[in-house]
Amino acid sequence: MSANDIRNLVERLVRDQGFELCGFAPAEPVGRAAYYREWLAAGRGGTMAYLGRNVDMRLNAAELFPGARTVIVCGLNYHQAPPPQPTDAALRGRVAMYAWGDDYHRVLKCKLFAVVDALREHLTVPFAARVCVDTAPLLEREYAMRAGVGWIGKNTLVLNETLGSYFFLGEIVTTLELPPDPPAVDHCGTCTRCLEACPTQAFPAAYQMDAARCISYLTIENRAPELPAELQPLMDDWIFGCDVCQQVCPFNRDATPTREPKFATRAPGAQPKLDDLLHWTDEDYRQESSGSAIKRAKPEMLRRNARIAAQNAQRSANSPG
């Protein structure tokens, strides 16, 4: 098989696994290495110390293992229609859409390993491959842009003209040298809706994020018993993640529903009751979060987030008008 034939085969296998997007980038250093180092030095990563480890590897996929030549970037839609509005009067929190269903790490890894296994059945030439989903030391958004899957928007998320931004990224880094795609072109134009809508003003400028102010970071990555007092009132009822900058993005206006059944809403759901979360025992947490991405936040963090959401609801109810 020629390199083009193998590339066509990979695209077919990726589509067979349900991915809507597939692109190819050379395993070379990313173009914004200096920005990433400056971002870390400025403390924009908050307490996420792991982002400062294996920096050379994060900036160059070729460092992941000897002989790496190509990064195959895949995108899987997770968009769902808004859930029905509850009919009871219980106070509820909001969960970011990506965590409504089964843990995407497991879903994507299973699909990507299936692609690699099928590829080995079709090819006679030996090759090495590593599957990466979010937790690997790889700047996947940079490689997604380089592979033509989407451009990095002003809210620092990857945007695709067809899917918007409600899709997961997964990668196969391989020793196969395959023809690359042209990099994605930025289509944000003059729009600044995401920057203006952010409740905590986590974007100091377009295409830049101060993660320490982001509600997703505050609810999921910040493990302190108490969150900054000045940010708590701005978090509204978000108890795990935040979708505000995606909700206002024009490219998400006509987002199509996911075809992946494993992303269907499951416990604890899109709008869990705050009182339930506040009284979760560790055993409740284990049962309710098993198999869900919400397990990224520890039980004490979810209780903390629920308490803040309840206080915000009370504050809103007591405010004039």
Over the stretch 6-65, which tens digit does the pLDDT of each residue have?
Answer: 999 999 999 999 999 999 999 999 988 888 999 999 999 999 999 999 899 999 999 999
Q: Average pLDDT, stretch 165-190? A: 98
Rounded CA-CA distance 118/311 in Å is 52
Rounded to 5°, angle at Cα 226 from 216 and 103 = 35
Predicted TM-score of the model (pTM): 0.95
Q: Average pLDDT, stretch 160-180? A: 98
Of 202, 206, 258, the C-alpha closest to 228 is 202
| Amino acid (1-letter code) at residue 160 | N
pLDDT value for 222: 97
Rounded CA-CA distance 64/301 in Å is 33
Element (H, E) at 276: helix 274-278
Rounded CA-CA distance 46/42 in Å is 9
pLDDT value for 87: 86
User: Do residues 238 and 297 lie in contact, with contact meaning Cβ atoms separated by under 8 Å?
Assistant: no
Q: Average pLDDT, stretch 89-106? A: 96
The count of other CB atoms within 10 Å of the CB of residue 72 is 28
pLDDT value for 321: 55
Partners of 238 in the beta sheet? 94
Of residues 291 and 320, which shows the higher confidence score?
291
Coil, strand or helix at 48: coil
CA distances to 57, 168, 264, 281 from 84, rounded to whole Å, are: 44, 24, 14, 27
CA distances to 18, 161, 162, 165, 315 from 254, rounded to whole Å, are: 20, 10, 9, 11, 34
Tokens representing residue 147 in the block: 């592979």
CB-facing half-sphere around the CA of 85: CA atoms within 13 A: 2
Element (H, E) at 38: helix 33-41
Could you read off the pLDDT of 185-236 as tens digits, one per residue? 999 999 999 999 999 999 999 999 999 999 999 999 999 999 999 999 999 9
Coil, strand or helix at 129: strand
Under the banding of pLDDT at 50, 70 and 90, the label for residue 313 is very high
User: Do residues 92 and 99 lie in contact, with contact meaning Cβ atoms separated by under 8 Å?
Assistant: no
pLDDT value for 320: 67
pLDDT value for 316: 82
Question: Which runs of consecutive H residues, i.e. helices, occur in 84-138?
Answer: 104-122
Percentage above 90 pLDDT, the chain: 90
Q: Average pLDDT, stretch 159-182? A: 98
- Residues labelled as active-site residues: 134
